[in-house]
Structure 1
Amino acid sequence: MADRILVARIGAPHGVRGEVRLFVFTEDPGAVLDYDPLTDATGKKRFRIAALRAAKDHFVARIEGIADRTAAEALTNLDLFVPREALPPPDDDDTFYHADLIGLDVVDEAGVVIGKVVALQDFGAGDILEYAPTLPATKAKTLMVPFSKDAVPVVDVPGRRVVVAEAFVERRPAEPEEGEDTGGE
């Protein structure tokens, strides 16, 4: 399991006084103020949010020590993490941190490993589980399935696997690219 959990990402500067757009990934976005300090991915650089306010589809944050637009620009796209022990444990078996899913085996309902989880995405219509397939006939670099009980009925973090329902398993090879030899006539 990951020792640091991603809780926010700094976006572009907001104004000229060093404020930044902040995209928060915690269930309660205001909780990001309770995590002190926040760190970069290495855990070496530390950050403290001095003020936070809601905006249209993000938050606007003032980060201690960042006083102008130039300093804020240097933080654009910086991921902010907290140590795992700073977060509460999941409430139940259906609650988990996305970081705990990365690297889990993706198996079909028969238990055959068909890939490894590489990411969870949210493009606005709900979470999507992205995995790198291991089936030899699949040419795609990654495949995506809805991260719902219908598509992913079992998430077994201790067992290091997720089960994808058969209706969502991609078993056919990708279409041959133009000019690719398919072995036929």
Structure 2
Amino acid sequence: MGSEKDKFTNRVLMGQIGAAHGIQGQVRIKSHTDDPLALKNYSPLTTNRPGLEITIKKARLNKSVIVATLEGVTDRNTAETLNGVKLYVSRDQLPDTEDEEEFYQTDLIGLDVQLEDGTKYGTITAIQNHGAGDVLEVRPLRGPSELYPFTKRIIPTINIADGFVTFVPPTEIEVDDNEAFED
């Protein structure tokens, strides 16, 4: 398949284990799949803990989370040690997207970032989400990485087949020092 490094850089985050549920080792999982219960179909899942793989034996939907029984986890204490573990699947295990407007975020990593006139600006190095929406991390040709909201206005075109996105830099917000925070 490739090197060990490739194995871990070509992963897609599928969910994250949360709190223990009950006393028999079940856990809550926030799934990032369209059908939350489909997460079970990708077992075993790799994790962000070296050497730890997770196999979901049984799963049921409980409101917005999955309550799952994991292979080898039979008590609450063990389940609690898994809180925060991220669950990944190799990109090649996922089906191809059906139209050009759909993509996996991992497919954007490494794409060129071009200005509207075709000039290369940089490369997408990561996609982050800290709760307020997706943010692209872009490494410009010169200088440190920059963060931009992942919106249609800033990234109007995504062309995975040709390896680039079109980038419209946001305009700076200017504040008149005399107007800012006056009492």
What TM-score do the two structures reach when normalised by structure 1? 0.72
What is the match of residue 79 of structure 1? 86
SS at match of 1:7: strand
Most deviating of 34-43 and 100-109: 34-43
1:24 Cα offset (Å): 0.9
Match of 1:123 among 131, 134, 138: 131
**Structure 2: stretches of 5+ with no match in the other structure:** 1-5, 176-183
Partner Cα separation in structure 2 for residue 60 and residue 92 of structure 1: 32
Partner Cα separation in structure 1 for residue 170 and residue 155 of structure 2: 14
1:155 partnered with 2:134: no
Task: Indicate if the aligned counterparts of 1:115 and 1:131 stay in contact, CA closer than 8 A.
Answer: no
SS at match of 2:106: helix
1:142 partnered with 2:115: no
Partner Cα separation in structure 2 for residue 143 and residue 174 of structure 1: 19
1:100 Cα offset (Å): 1.3
1:108 partnered with 2:115: yes
1:120 Cα offset (Å): 4.5
What TM-score do the two structures reach when normalised by structure 2? 0.73
Match of 2:61 among 36, 48, 54: 54
1:174 Cα offset (Å): 10
Amino acid at match of 1:119: I
1:66 Cα offset (Å): 0.7
| RMSD of aligned alpha carbons | 3.2
Task: Indicate if the aligned counterparts of 1:106 and 1:131 stay in contact, CA closer than 8 A.
Answer: no
1:14 partnered with 2:7: no
Partner Cα separation in structure 2 for residue 157 and residue 122 of structure 1: 25
What is the match of residue 27 of structure 1? 34
The percentage of counterpart residues that share the same residue type is 31
Amino acid at match of 1:35: Y
**Structure 1: stretches of 5+ with no match in the other structure:** 176-185
1:132 partnered with 2:135: no
Count residues with an aligned counterpart. 167
Partner Cα separation in structure 2 for residue 173 and residue 147 of structure 1: 17
Amino acid at match of 1:159: D
1:30 Cα offset (Å): 1.7
